[in-house]
Amino acid sequence: MSANKESWGSRVGLILAMAGNAVGLGNFLRFPVQAVQNGGGAFIIPYLVCFLVMGIPLLWIEWSMGRFGGKFGHHSTPFILDTMHKGRFWKYIGVFGIWTNIAVAAYYCYLESWTLSYMMHSAFGSFNGMDQNGVAEFFNHYVNLDASTMGIPYEPIVFFLICLLLNTWILSKGLAGGVERVAKIGMPLLILFGVFLAYKGFTISAGVDGAINDSSVGLNFLWTPDYTKLWSPSVWLAAAGQIFFTLSVGMGTVHCYASYVRGKDDIALNAMSAGWMNEFVEVVLGGAILIPISIGYLGIDRVTELVQFGGLGLGFKTLPYLFLQWGPILGAVAGMMWFGLLFFAGITSSLAMGTPWMGFLQDEFNWKRKSAAWSFGLIVLVLGLPTVIFFNYGVFDEYDYWAGTVSLVVFALFESILFAWVFGMKKGWREITSGADIKVPGIYKFIIKFVTPLLLLWVFIGSLVTPKGGDWGAALSGNWVLDDSSIISKIRNVSLKKDLANAIAAMDTEKIKHLEDTLFFVNASRLLLVGVFVSIALLVYIAYKKRVREGKI
């Protein structure tokens, strides 16, 4: 008998947990930057199209697959996929649904720990008296493991351990007693903090508290549409990528959560509720905080420069300084709310990442819940420490790229083919609509079978062979030069090797040493990730053989 006796305590708790899984740091740090870089208001058009023809279908696919596998007592993707087709191939595709979560959790918990640390520093006034460069340098010293301003030795490691222990302890309490309880507390607080900060973003006035622009300037900068970019495949790829990132599809967490619902429970409305809640948080709240506040105090030119470095540059290196323009008390409160919001967004996502591994151990090896939870914490500790210690050598970014980006597309592509073409759309549609509290539009039969897989294939191929500068017109006319951001160029370390060649030509010995070390750690991190994947695949093979011996297959 399996040791896995988990269940959800309530429908509200399930929806909040699913929404918490989707709502993450990217809603507030990644989305507004993506919008600015890809046409502003016009970006919403491909973004919503991708949500409707890829995001919603994938949510329905993953909820259906999870509930279907749960009927047979499976709570992790290798054997959930196995229930849909008995070919051995699918079990090992299902390894992505465990591996991705472990690998993402390894760096995501570190990122999450920054929010805990910054909440403390906001509360204790560590940023008081600093200018913007001072706050930026604070971040640089932090990730360099320099001495803490609070006197805490190796502060990033300490907070990483605290964050990991907190995640593990909550997971050990189970779905209803741990994950669901956190979602019921964290999601309302996240929205409350977001509404307050969005209100501040909407009410900035030039000349008040040092602001140089009204809030309308930042909002117009973010949402003024540049319709010329609508015809760029790169913009559509960015929109599709954001949908993946924001909905947490292609990871295996949705399958795992859905596997604990009862066989006749609604999944169609549940999936829509969680998906649209995520969209509200991302578009309405995420779009009203980072960019409008930054432009209100720094101006468009400065923010345009900072946006090139992504949302982390604004969220951690800039906003703590801007909040203090509202005065020391309100600035501290706003800082605590901002990083508290990011913490709740982070922890509700990272908790979901532990459940597939735990479900696998409980189902296949009869592990107790607490033992499975602490084993997850130990694995993430070992795999995650390199992202902390060697952050400046690209390990964090490698984990994020391969586990948090590429693998999502690969797994989603395979699962859409399995669901619509192997399992069969007729049976798949029956799974989606069984017990549904809404009428699912019939057009989605066609979308799930044809549009979603083709769009996923396009996203993968587009990422694999991205042309230089995203100039698809030149590429399709015969001048196809791979961009450094393409998957092929990433595998070959093209960008790093160019930088190294330039450093050698300039005889910059310090930079040469740093880039050589970076190349080593980048390649080592990839080997480590491959090793983890192979190890999980081996465990799946052992579990399969165990089932054969016990006559379960």
pLDDT digits (tens, 9 = 90+) for 479-513: 899 999 999 999 999 999 999 999 999 999 999 99
pLDDT tens by residue, 412-469: 999 999 999 999 999 999 999 999 999 999 999 999 999 999 999 998 998 999 899 8
User: Considering the chain, what percentage of its residues have pLDDT values greater than 70?
Assistant: 99
> Model confidence at 12, in pLDDT bands (50, 70, 90)?
confident
Q: Is residue 3 situated within a structural domain?
A: no
Q: Which residues pair with 467 in a beta bridge?
A: 482
Q: Is residue 33 situated within a structural domain?
A: yes
> Coil, strand, or helix at residue 482?
strand
**Radius of gyration (Cα) for the chain, nearest Å?**
23
Q: Quick one: pLDDT at residue 2?
A: 62
8 A C-beta contact, residue 294 and residue 319: yes
Mean pLDDT of all residues in the chain?
92
Number of compact structural domains in the chain: 1
Q: Quick one: pLDDT at residue 241?
A: 83
Q: Is residue 2 situated within a structural domain?
A: no
8 A C-beta contact, residue 25 and residue 345: yes
Residue 85 has pLDDT above 80, yes or no: yes
Q: Is residue 4 situated within a structural domain?
A: no
pLDDT tens by residue, 289-330: 999 999 999 998 888 888 877 778 889 999 999 999 999 999
pLDDT tens by residue, 67-84: 999 999 999 999 999 999
> Coil, strand, or helix at residue 449?
helix
Q: Is residue 6 situated within a structural domain?
A: no
CA gap 446, 442 in Å, rounded: 8
**Does an H or E element contain 64, and which?**
helix 56-70
Alpha carbon distances (Å) from 449 to 130, 244, 426, 452, 454:
55, 18, 10, 7, 9
User: Considering the chain, what percentage of its residues have pLDDT values greater than 90?
Assistant: 75
Output the DSSP codes for 144-201.
TTPPPTT--TTHHHHHHHHHHHHHHHHHHTHIIIIIHHHHHHHHHHHHHHHHHHHHHH
CA gap 503, 518 in Å, rounded: 13
> Model confidence at 153, in pLDDT bands (50, 70, 90)?
confident
Tell me which amino acid residue 404 is.
G
Q: Quick one: pLDDT at residue 3?
A: 63
Residue 184 has pLDDT above 80, yes or no: yes
> Coil, strand, or helix at residue 127?
coil
Residue 35 has pLDDT above 90, yes or no: no
Q: Is residue 289 situated within a structural domain?
A: yes
pLDDT tens by residue, 519-536: 999 999 999 999 999 999
> Model confidence at 229, in pLDDT bands (50, 70, 90)?
confident
Would you tell me how many other CB atoms lie within 10 Å of the CB of residue 308?
A: 9
Q: Quick one: pLDDT at residue 213?
A: 94
Residue 280, domain extent: 11-549
Mean pLDDT, residues 242-255 taken together: 91
Would you tell me how many other CB atoms lie within 10 Å of the CB of residue 220?
A: 16
Mean pLDDT, residues 358-374 taken together: 96
Q: Quick one: pLDDT at residue 263?
A: 84
Residue 332 has pLDDT above 60, yes or no: yes
8 A C-beta contact, residue 172 and residue 374: yes
Sign of the CA dihedral with 200 first, then 201, 206, and 207 last: positive
**CATH number of the domain enclosing 472:** 1.20.1740
